[in-house]
Amino acid sequence: MVAAAADFVPHSFMHAKIEAPNRANSDFFATLSGAATRSKIERRPALPPHPRMGTLGVFRHHAMGANMGKKKNQAKKAAASVRKLERKLWCRSYLMKIAEFDGATIAPENGAAARTEAMGTLASEYHKLLTKDSSVKKVRDLLDTIESGNVEDEQLCAEARVLARDQREALAIPAKEAEAWTRLTCEAQAVWHKAKVANDWASFEPYIDHIVDSLKHQAALMNPNADPYDVWLDQHERGLSTASFDAFCAQVKDIVVPLVHEIGERGQQPDAPFAHAHVPVEVQKVLSLDLMKLVGLDLADTTLAVTEHPFSEGFATGDARIATHFYENDALSNVFSIVHEAGHTIYELGVNPAYAFTSLEGGTSMGIHESQSRFFENTVARSRAFMGPLLQVLRKHVPEVYGQVSEDELYRAVNIARPSLIRTEADELTYPLHVMVRYEIERLLFAGEATARDIPALWSRFMDEYLGVEVPDDAHGCLQDVHWSGGSFGYFPTYALGSAYDAQYVPAMKADGVDIDAACAAGDLSPVCTWLGNKIWQWGRAKDAPELIQNACGAPFDAHFYCDYLNEKFRSLYNL
């Protein structure tokens, strides 16, 4: 199998989205859960018209002008104060990202304890800086100035709104608990790395119970009236809940499960020995850099590191990095990991540079982030049109393997649909079923119906139920993903949602005159990147997923686009 999705790692040092789902974002998924009712949009009453000025009005006008000048000065001071706070917060966030990336790539094993100490201290500083009384006052003063109508800068208004939300959410968690959480997850990640290699679930197991207990406690602090797991689903994707994701899963399963069975019974799998030919790591490294350039990355903005579990991280304007894992007998695994992570990276680099050092820098949600990575990995890199440019790169670096491979042969090979063990190696069709396996287990853990000790057996059970695959050991089962070690429960559903968002972009892009196939065939993705840049990337955190989808696609999220895409593509591939 060739790789499906790797990961854009959410940060364990702080929770970015922890408030209860708001009405607008809950409605985003309402067509799936059937639970929403339309609510009227509250509008402020219109301001009365400016009075006509007679002689007395002239004096009133001068007084008003002086007052307005004073208010504008106050607005400038409030803005400068908040921008200074944002920069200080950004600096601590940047340092934590550096430590996290270093720990997953080049840091020595014995450096984990020191890194845990450093990240715990930085997380504590970040939390205290964000939530202290003077910081709350600075943000409140700016919001009051905006409310009074003395700020016309749309970016500043968005910064205040997002920072206030971050602040409000962080205030729910005591500073000592935020620091302890960072220390816990940093230690858990180090243990997971060793446990996966050694196939040693027992050494990692206690951390899962501790992490789940901590997350349930934090969820109760944030929203005591909500289901704890719903709180964390909403953290990663505003408005997402078990009800809406259950409805999404039902739609997808209705298409995917019968189609997987039909392919298994009637579909003819292609013979593709080249997919597992030996390709040295050093060759794959150079090949990876060419792939990054092919999909539109400027190598001056990024770097390539090696890790156990592929991921990427956005650090700043002009700095977003990729980490991959090489398999000498499965070079295509790395090919699609690189393209997937490039999607995340291009998104981070495409955020409006004016947002640098502010609360708006970075991606808005994990679902939108995954929609970018999955778009490049699947819509672009697995398309028939892209096989020419992709084959050119492969032939350049591995001519002895790909010199005689045709575009059609490569296209069939990179789109083989067959149940498999590893999520990141799963094909596009069976991939959402891997997500559902993790979702089922997470729900049981948060409902108190299972503990970490039960996970290996549950994993085997759900892998059999969803995919008909036998799990040989924990390294190929419940230890394969890094996410739980970082506390990222409720994250996995965003992978499936990201794929579904991706499918909805395509008709919208075509309606706007973008010829995706032509761009892919030419190996020039600039028209595609321009559309995504205008509709998604540039907005950073200034807009949430519902608004981005509505503006980009002209309609709310609709899973039918995804279901129709999978059904049409794989029936065509397998002549069903």
User: What positions carry a catalytic annotation?
Assistant: 341
Q: Is 227 helix (H, G, I), strand (E, B) or coil?
A: coil
Furthest C-alpha separation in the chain: 91
For residue 468 the two structure tokens come to: 């008909």
Range 138-147 contact pairs with CB under 8 angstroms and sequence separation of 24 or more? 138/78, 138/81, 138/82, 138/85, 139/82, 139/85, 139/163, 139/164, 139/167, 140/164, 141/78, 141/81, 142/75, 142/78, 142/79, 142/81, 142/82, 145/71, 145/74, 145/75, 145/78, 145/79
Buried b (16+ CB within 10 A) or exposed e, 144-157: ebbeeebbeeeebe
Which of 252, 242, 250, 247 lies closest to 33, judged by CA? 247
Q: Are strands 319-324 and 304-306 parallel, antiparallel or unpaired?
A: parallel
Q: Which alpha helices (H) appear in 430-492, and where do they start and end? A: 431-446, 455-467
At residue 311, φ and ψ (nearest 5 deg) are -160, 175
**Rounded to an integer, what is the distance from CA 430 to the centroid of its chain?**
20
Residue 183 CA to residue 173 CA, distance in Å, equals 15
Which residues, 6 or more positions from 214, have their beta carbon under 8 angstroms from its beta carbon? 181, 184, 487
Cβ atoms of 294 and 529 closer than 8 Å: no
Residue 311 CA to residue 482 CA, distance in Å, equals 10
Give strand pairing partners of 76. Answer: none
Cβ atoms of 5 and 424 closer than 8 Å: yes
Residue whose tokens read 């189609």: 259
Which of 367, 308, 380 lies closest to 340, judged by CA? 380
Cβ atoms of 230 and 241 closer than 8 Å: yes
Which of 493, 346, 489, 364 lies closest to 423, judged by CA? 493
Which residues, 6 or more positions from 367, have their beta carbon under 8 angstroms from its beta carbon? 236, 237, 240, 494, 497, 498, 501, 545
Give the C-alpha distances (Å, rounded to integers) separating 428 from 69, 462, 500. 59, 19, 12
Cβ atoms of 218 and 15 closer than 8 Å: yes
Residue 530 CA to residue 245 CA, distance in Å, equals 31
Which residues, 6 or more positions from 441, have their beta carbon under 8 angstroms from its beta carbon? 450, 455, 458, 459, 462, 478
